[in-house]
Chains A and B, each alone.
Chain A
Amino acid sequence: MNFLILSLIKAAVVAFVLMTTLAYLQWIERKVIAHIQLRVGPRRVGPHGLLQPLADVIKLLTKEDILPSHVNKVFYFLAPFIAVFFALIAISVIPFGGEVNIGGVKTMMQLTDLNIGVLFILGLSGMGVYGVALAGWASNNKYALIGGLRSSAQMISYELPMAMAIAAPLLMLNTLSFRQLVDAQSGFYFGFIPRWTIFQGPFPQVISFLLFGIAVFAETNRVPFDLPEAENELVAGFHVEYSSMKFAAFFMAEYANMVTVSCVATLLFLGGWQPLFPAEYGSKYIPTLIFLFGAVMCFYHGLNPVRAFDRITLPVAGVVFLGIAGIFLVPMLSTILLPLFWFAAKVGVILFVYMWVRGTLPRFRYDQLMSFAWTFMFPAAVANLFVTALLVALS
């Protein structure tokens, strides 16, 4: 098939899935936080609040777009576009699975395979700072300015340990292309320990995985590093003057960045779409079992409902889960869906940790944040890189 048409179709599919994920990530986060805090979360719009993201989008679209009189207009309009552009474009180099063959058309489950993909992501994350910094400055508001300044200082500081933490697994895998990174992590030690970077010899990259994890929390301005929007001191930080869709753009950028860094962590450290244990021990039945378990849970709670509404909604969800469990057993589809499942599962676990941390940890103080970056993260990342380099050179 024509390369251009194929690329357009793939781009449309990826964009649709990404946008839906971003919208529903918000719903999932609100639910997770709510349950951590012993609340029920959104449940007014649609069953279990499932239509809440749609309602939010409509609300944000139809809200009055206020243009404050004291802003620098050019950069005020430019900032949300910069933020959301550099956040969304990163997905173009992320591979989701191996080669697929749909009706005779062979294609990679990826938009484009750059052989400098890792550097591309690093470059984009560096450019993303401008969105936040310019938003803070152009708003011409002291709270926004302090938020923007904090954010740029924080992102510059944490970019260093992040890049150092990324460099260590790259030394072992010896490539910068995401697809080759995942291929280099395929296979198993002794037939059952996966050769993911966090398990791979000569030096399992557990330390750099943790360092990368901490650094990306700061890079994406998430709790406990959400100093740029510390609401008890800065109102809302850099986006305090933004309303309507421009505000939504910053929100979307934050969630898109979360998805991107979770994908990068999966690809670099957790073996991408490689399964946790070999297929001969039954790893291909894992998705079916998980969805079956979900279906059983739904049926059980549907039969013993806490609320009258659950008697209808939960069995419906259960039937849907049963259907998905069945789809994974179809041999033709399972070759496509299994890598996608493993990839999505790993990304999902990391995203859940994001929400879990938000529900658990309080915010840092600003000087703690900075001294943590420079006196702990950075030396630890350098030491980890040094040990990895030494062991790679010796082996």
Chain B
Amino acid sequence: MDAILFLIFATLAVACAVNLVLQKHPIASAISLVGVMGSLAVLYLLLGGEFIAMAQLIVYAGAIMVLFVFVIMLLNAGIEQRTGRRLWVTYGGVPMLAVLIGMAAYIVERALPPTEAVRFGTFQHGNAFDIGERLFKVYVLPFEATSILILVAILGAIVLARKEIS
């Protein structure tokens, strides 16, 4: 059952990711990205990371992507235009992509230590209690530093985006 669900949602995630690149309209791409995020949330759930799965759904698929969609709608961005492609891009793209993926796979295979295959449902520390304990005991300084960084980024965005008031 877990393996079947994994296959379904992994395929869905990859299909949505490919669709995200292929779609010409920004809204369609954004919705495909929501599909990727949602499928990832289900994969986290299958692995036992309940809290992470719901955080993924609420923060990424919910809040952030709604803002994306919202901004695209406000800007009223149209269908993107294709410009003429060079000959070597048309014929060289796919082989070079294959080479890149092969190299990445090779490096991952060599550099990372051999690990056990992932098993569904064996991970037991994905609930809110464990995450909260880690967050507020072990990682409290990085957590707070990140939140201040985000605050600084928001203030920077406001300063950059606001109109000059004479």
Residues of A within 8 A of B (CB): 72, 74-75, 114-116, 119-120, 122-123, 126-127, 129-130, 133-134, 136-137, 145, 148-149, 152-153, 155-156, 159, 176
Q: Is the CB of B73 within 8 A of A149?
A: yes
* Partner of A159 from B41, B54, B63 at Cβ < 8 Å: B63
* Partner of A149 from B51, B58, B74, B128 at Cβ < 8 Å: B74
Residues of B within 8 A of A115 (CB): 50, 127
Segment 48-66 of B: residues with Cβ below 8 Å from A: 50-51, 54-55, 57-58, 61-63, 66
Q: Is the CB of A116 within 8 A of B127?
A: yes
Q: Is the CB of A123 within 8 A of B63?
A: no
Which secondary structure characterizes the binding site on chain B? helix
* Partner of A123 from B31, B34, B58 at Cβ < 8 Å: B58
Q: Is the CB of B128 within 8 A of A153?
A: no
- Taking A74-B28, A126-B62, A129-B66 as given, write out 14 further A-B residue pairs in contact, using a Cβ cutoff of 8 Å, ordered by the A residue number: A75-B28, A114-B50, A115-B127, A119-B128, A123-B58, A123-B61, A126-B57, A127-B57, A129-B62, A133-B69, A136-B73, A145-B73, A152-B69, A155-B66
In the complex, B150 has a CB within 8 A of chain A:
no
24 contacting pairs across A/B (C-beta < 8 A): A72-B27, A115-B127, A116-B50, A116-B51, A116-B127, A116-B128, A119-B51, A123-B54, A126-B57, A126-B62, A127-B38, A129-B66, A130-B31, A130-B34, A130-B69, A133-B66, A133-B70, A134-B31, A137-B27, A145-B73, A152-B69, A152-B70, A153-B70, A176-B128
Residues of B within 8 A of A (CB): 27-28, 31, 34, 38, 41, 50-51, 54-55, 57-58, 61-63, 66-67, 69-70, 73-74, 127-128
Q: Is the CB of B54 within 8 A of A120?
A: yes
Q: Is the CB of B61 within 8 A of A127?
A: yes
Q: How many A-B residue pairs have CB under 8 A?
A: 70
Which secondary structure characterizes the binding site on chain A? helix
Q: Distance in Å from the Cβ of A363 to the closest Cβ of chain B?
A: 22
Q: Distance in Å from the Cβ of A155 to the closest Cβ of chain B?
A: 8
Q: Is the CB of B62 within 8 A of A123?
A: yes
Q: Is the CB of B67 within 8 A of A156?
A: yes
Residues of B within 8 A of A129 (CB): 62, 66
Residue of A nearest to B126 (CB): A116
Residue of B nearest to A114 (CB): B50
A136 vs B72: C-alpha distance when bound (angstroms): 13
* Partner of B66 from A120, A122, A126 at Cβ < 8 Å: A126
A152 vs B63: C-alpha distance when bound (angstroms): 10
Q: Is the CB of A119 within 8 A of B54?
A: yes
A259 vs B18: C-alpha distance when bound (angstroms): 38
